[in-house]
Amino acid sequence: MTDRMETTRRGALGAMTVGALVATGALPVAAQAARKTFVLVHGAWHGGWCWRRVSDLLEKKGHKVFTPTMTGLGACSHLISKDVNLTTHITDIKNFIKWEILSDIVLVGHSYAGIIISGVAEELHGKISSIVFLDAFMPENGDSLAEKAAPAFRDAIANAINRGDVSLKAPPAAAFGVAEADRAWVDGKCTPQPISTYTEKAVYTGGRDKVAKKTYIRAKGYASPAFDAALAKTKADASWKTHEMTSGHDAMVIQPQELTELLLQAV
């Protein structure tokens, strides 16, 4: 069963469970009204699998959760090619929202997916009630990930392009702050990132700013000037909420309980 199929199945089962609770009166009226729909978008090299701990916690609280996997990654890694780029991944998430007929969603993007959810909000901001950037890039118009990344990472991208590589291999899970007990799992699930996702320039005209609720969460256990700058920018804007975690970069793996609590504050 693919990540996409599992995501849809788990979302449907979660909805059926909550529906049964509502029908029997086991779920309080206030809880019924507070039930939200979360779309959790993974970062580079990852897949929908990385959200399992957080999605389980949210579903136990009665929320509907979707964790789509983008083209060329995770369960869809067999679709990788030089043609997979930012537009591909933005379209993946837009189409997922459209085909699942979702609205009033909490859209969460981790790391690279900050660029993706910004692109999604360009068209679908009316379907997003809250947007959350988790240790994520916040692109301006014309930015590319290759330009925003740290110098050593920019060099790795340039070298891969010069070699004609289709993708860039994932760093070890330890680099993301993942605990030793989870490293084999994360390393075994991460797959190469399509190279064109680093080089295509973002098209941004302010869609994310039209979302009513906006949150930036910084995982301070991971060094990143780009994410520090994004935190400072959002802190200075009264329309944003900001939070800081002690976690390393893969906060959904490292501190799922703490992250879940912050996501619930963002709704």
What stretches in the chain show pLDDT beneath 70? Answer: 1-33
Per-residue burial over 206-222, b = 16 or more CB atoms within 10 Å of its CB, e = otherwise:
ebbeebeebbbbbbebb
144 tagged catalytic:
no
Among the listed residues 55, 111, 167, 196, the single catalytic one is 111
Residues 245 and 258: beta-carbon distance below 8 Å? yes
| Domain spans, the chain | 3-261
At residue 78, the pLDDT reads 98
- The predicted-structure confidence for 157-211, as pLDDT tens digits, reads as follows 999 989 999 999 999 999 999 999 999 999 999 999 999 999 999 999 999 999 9
At residue 21, the pLDDT reads 46
At residue 153, the pLDDT reads 84
At residue 120, the pLDDT reads 99
At residue 160, the pLDDT reads 92
At residue 33, the pLDDT reads 46
Q: What residue type is 128 in one-letter code?
A: I
At residue 226, the pLDDT reads 94
At residue 148, the pLDDT reads 80
Q: Which CATH superfamily is domain 3-261 in?
A: Alpha/Beta hydrolase fold, catalytic domain (3.40.50.1820)
